[in-house]
């Protein structure tokens, strides 16, 4: 208010003060006043402008800037602003924590002092994309104050007054997870490609081949490109195809063992395959991993063994019949031979008995 009194007293001044109207409304007023010579008299000239709207806009802008600064400061990603020379002019706390430098130390440092030069490549700040206002996303490597390296993802964007904004996100853990996933996939790829048993990956809905291993190509005689133009049922007999079309879904949903089916190689050779099926996700698709084992020799051996057992059973039955017939024949012969001898012996005994009872009987 002292500046307002100075204006009223004729001191050259320019102030903004609050004016209260008769109705009680209060608004901001900009006063400019000075003494002048008016018609030979020393007079006070004052000019007043209503700046309430301008003050309101400035206050909103101030609050907006405060919210912006709060968002920047509380962001989990590192955020910086640099000038056209590539010098940091503003950084948030996360950027300081990410680099290990204090905010005060970072101000004035060049981007090249933080980002590894061998990852910068062509100066991004001078790129055509940046100059036309496009954002650029790139993975870089930064060097922290203690000399350690950190992988980050940086988004650059041109701002007003030849300044640039960068948002830096630590992707060290993501890179480690991606590398672990890559190694894991490589191991499983080796297990798939080098497996001695034929293996297929099928689309769950169409049963088309999505991938096959080397053993499958060698066993069936088809090249990989030929496999990828077929589906599972092309390897099988038609009656089995119809059964499997109806049961395929339920089989693979409820049990891991797919069953035993007749397959045909490229040269027409019939083989008996036992399959084991697993649910997997392959390149974003629902798929089935099938491991097939050639059971032809085993099943043929089992059939041969079964026939052999049946032949042995029939032979044993036949031998038992022969032995029974032989025993019956021998019993009959023994019965007849003994019967004759016993009859003769009985007649002899009867004659001797009579002779002993009456030794002088000529007829006895």
Q: Which of 294, 317, 348 is the last residue of a domain?
A: 294
Q: Which of 121, 138, 170 is the last residue of a domain?
A: 170
Residue 188 per-residue DSSP state: H
Q: Note whether 166 and 217 are same-domain residues.
A: no
Residue 21 structural domain: 2-60
For residues 207 and 162, the model is more confident at 207
Q: What pLDDT score does 136 carry? A: 80
3-state SS, 287-306, equals EEEEEEEECHHHHHHHHHHH
Q: Note whether 166 and 184 are same-domain residues.
A: no
Residue 339 counted as domain residue: no
Cβ neighbours of 15 (radius 10 Å): 16
- Residue 162: give its domain's CATH number: 3.30.450.20
- Average the pLDDT over each of 119-133, 166-180, 302-316 and give the range with the smallest value: 119-133
Kindly give the residue spans of alpha helices, DSSP state H, lying in the chain. 2-8, 52-74, 93-99, 103-106, 111-114, 117-120, 128-131, 172-193, 214-220, 224-227, 238-254, 296-357
For residues 137 and 109, the model is more confident at 109
Residue 122 per-residue DSSP state: S
pLDDT in tens, 63-91: 777 777 777 788 888 889 888 888 898 88
Q: Note whether 51 and 93 are same-domain residues.
A: no
- How many domains is the chain partitioned into structurally? 3
The answer on pLDDT for 288 being more than 70 is: yes
Both tokens of 178, joined, read 């991606």
- Band (pLDDT 50/70/90 cuts) for residue 215 is very high
Q: Determine the Cα–Cα distance for residues 144 and 149; give it in Å rounded to an integer.
A: 6
Q: What is the pTM of this model?
A: 0.47
Please name every residue paired with 27 in a beta bridge, in sequence order, or none if there are none: 19
Residue 250 counted as domain residue: yes
Torsion of CA 136, 138, 140, 145, to 10 degrees: 40
Q: Note whether 186 and 268 are same-domain residues.
A: yes
pLDDT in tens, 329-339: 787 777 777 77
Q: Note whether 147 and 82 are same-domain residues.
A: yes
**Backbone φ and ψ of 145, nearest 5°:** -60, -30
Residue 27 counted as domain residue: yes
Q: Note whether 52 and 90 are same-domain residues.
A: no
Q: What pLDDT score does 219 carry? A: 94
Q: What's the burial of 82, exposed, middle or buried (CB within 10 Å: 0-12/13-18/19+)?
A: buried
Q: Note whether 206 and 283 are same-domain residues.
A: yes
What's the chain's Rg over C-alpha atoms? 53
Q: Note whether 35 and 80 are same-domain residues.
A: no
Q: What pLDDT score does 60 carry? A: 78
- Average the pLDDT over each of 113-127, 161-175, 207-221, 342-356 and give the range with the smallest value: 113-127
Residue 234 counted as domain residue: yes
Residue 321 counted as domain residue: no
The answer on pLDDT for 116 being more than 60 is: yes
Q: Note whether 228 and 254 are same-domain residues.
A: yes
Q: Note whether 88 and 163 are same-domain residues.
A: yes
Residue 209 counted as domain residue: yes
Q: Determine the Cα–Cα distance for residues 243 and 250; give it in Å rounded to an integer.
A: 12
Residue 325 counted as domain residue: no
Q: Note whether 116 and 192 are same-domain residues.
A: no
Q: Note whether 55 and 80 are same-domain residues.
A: no
Who's near 20: CB < 8 A, 6+ residues apart? 26
Q: What's the burial of 46, exposed, middle or buried (CB within 10 Å: 0-12/13-18/19+)?
A: exposed
Q: What pLDDT score does 243 carry? A: 54
């Amino acid at each position: 208010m002292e500046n307002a009194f100075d204006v009223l007293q004729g001191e050259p001044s320019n102030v903004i003060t609050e004016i209260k109207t008769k109705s009680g409304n209060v608004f901001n007023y900009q006063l400019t006043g000075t003494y002048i010579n008016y018609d030979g008299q020393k007079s006070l000239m004052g000019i007043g402008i209503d700046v309430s709207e301008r003050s309101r806009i400035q206050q909103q802008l101030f609050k907006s800037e405060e919210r912006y600064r709060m968002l920047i400061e509380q962001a989990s990603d590192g955020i910086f602003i640099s000038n056209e020379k590539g010098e940091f002019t503003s950084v948030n706390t996360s950027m300081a924590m990410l680099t290990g430098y204090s905010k005060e130390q970072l101000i004035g440092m060049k981007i090249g002092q933080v980002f590894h030069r061998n990852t910068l490549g062509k100066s991004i700040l001078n790129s055509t994309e940046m100059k036309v206002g496009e954002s650029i996303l790139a993975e870089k490597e930064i060097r922290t104050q203690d000399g350690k390296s950190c992988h980050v993802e940086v988004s650059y964007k041109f701002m007003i007054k030849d300044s640039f904004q960068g948002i830096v996100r630590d992707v060290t853990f993501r890179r480690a997870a991606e590398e672990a996933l890559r190694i894991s996939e490589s191991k499983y790829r080796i297990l798939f490609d080098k497996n001695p048993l034929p293996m297929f990956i099928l689309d769950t809905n169409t049963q088309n081949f999505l991938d096959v291993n080397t053993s499958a190509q060698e066993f069936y005689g088809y090249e990989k490109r030929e496999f990828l133009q077929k589906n599972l049922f092309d390897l099988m007999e038609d009656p089995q195809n119809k059964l499997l079309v109806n049961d395929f879904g339920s089989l693979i949903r409820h049990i891991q063992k797919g069953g035993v089916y007749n397959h045909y190689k490229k040269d027409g050779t019939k083989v008996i395959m036992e399959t084991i099926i697993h649910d997997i996700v392959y390149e974003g698709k629902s798929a089935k991993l099938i491991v097939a084992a050639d059971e032809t020799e085993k099943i043929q051996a089992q059939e041969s063994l079964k026939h052999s057992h049946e032949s042995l059973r029939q032979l044993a039955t036949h031998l038992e019949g022969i032995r029974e017939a032989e025993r019956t024949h021998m019993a009959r012969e023994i019965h007849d031979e003994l019967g004759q001898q016993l009859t003769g012996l009985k007649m002899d005994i009867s004659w001797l008995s009579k002779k002993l009872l009456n030794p002088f009987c000529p007829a006895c």
